[in-house]
Amino acid sequence: MTIQIDYQLFSRVELFDNLTSEQLLEVLGTSDELVVLAGRTIYEAGHVERALYVLLSGTVEVDVSAPRAGERLLAQLGPGSVFGESSFFHASPHSATVRAQCDSRLIRIDREAFDKLLSEGNIAALRIAANASRILAERLQQADRFIVELLESIEDRKIHESWAKFRSAMGHSFGSSGASVGVGMAR
């Protein structure tokens, strides 16, 4: 499907910061436009798909399975939001389910097509990768702050045991041997 270009709309998308109109056209030329009806699932947790989504209009909800927490809604995203980045940058199944709350228009950037642009030294792809890195870093910092607040608000032995387990898992996932990743707290 040919993507209808509304530069004013795309200029509000943080993922596309610092792209010229020509560079934006290069990326969109390898992308798909999707219209997802209200209530439809865009992707499910556990599904393997390497694509990055940009929400142009509508609203989507990001839902995680956390039965003991009572809450399932992780986030509600509006126009300009980017999602799917975890599986796009790291080949792994989606950790959440994303569903359209109302009729929504999206851009889907396929990882294979993106890799082709990168291999060609495409400046637009490099800028998108840099922008995505900044977005991911901001989200990680927000998660760090939330974890700190949660730990400070609950003085429960199980929470501290879970925290130690989390630190151990984070250190392991980065290929270190027993090292842990700090999140703004003294260890």
Hey, what domains does the chain have and what are their CATH numbers? 7-173 (2.60.120.10)
CB-based contact 76:101 (threshold 8 Å): yes
Q: Order of strands across the sheet with 60-63?
A: 41-43, 97-100, 60-63, 73-77
Give me the residues paired with residue 33 across strands.
Answer: 107
Name the residue with tokens 């991911």.
136
- The three-point CA angle 76-140-187 to 5° equals 135
From the centroid of its chain, how far is CA 65?
Answer: 17
pLDDT tens digits, 52-76: 999 999 999 998 877 666 667 888 9
Cβ within 8 Å of residue 60, ≥6 positions away = 42, 76, 77, 81, 83, 98, 99, 100, 101, 104
DSSP-H helix ranges across 90-122: 111-119
Q: In 3-state terms, what secondary structure has residue 51?
A: strand
Q: In 3-state terms, what secondary structure has residue 95?
A: coil
pTM attached to this predicted model: 0.74
Q: How confident is the model at residue 175 (pLDDT cuts 50, 70, 90)?
A: very low
**Quick one: pLDDT at residue 13?**
86
Is residue 178 over pLDDT 90? no
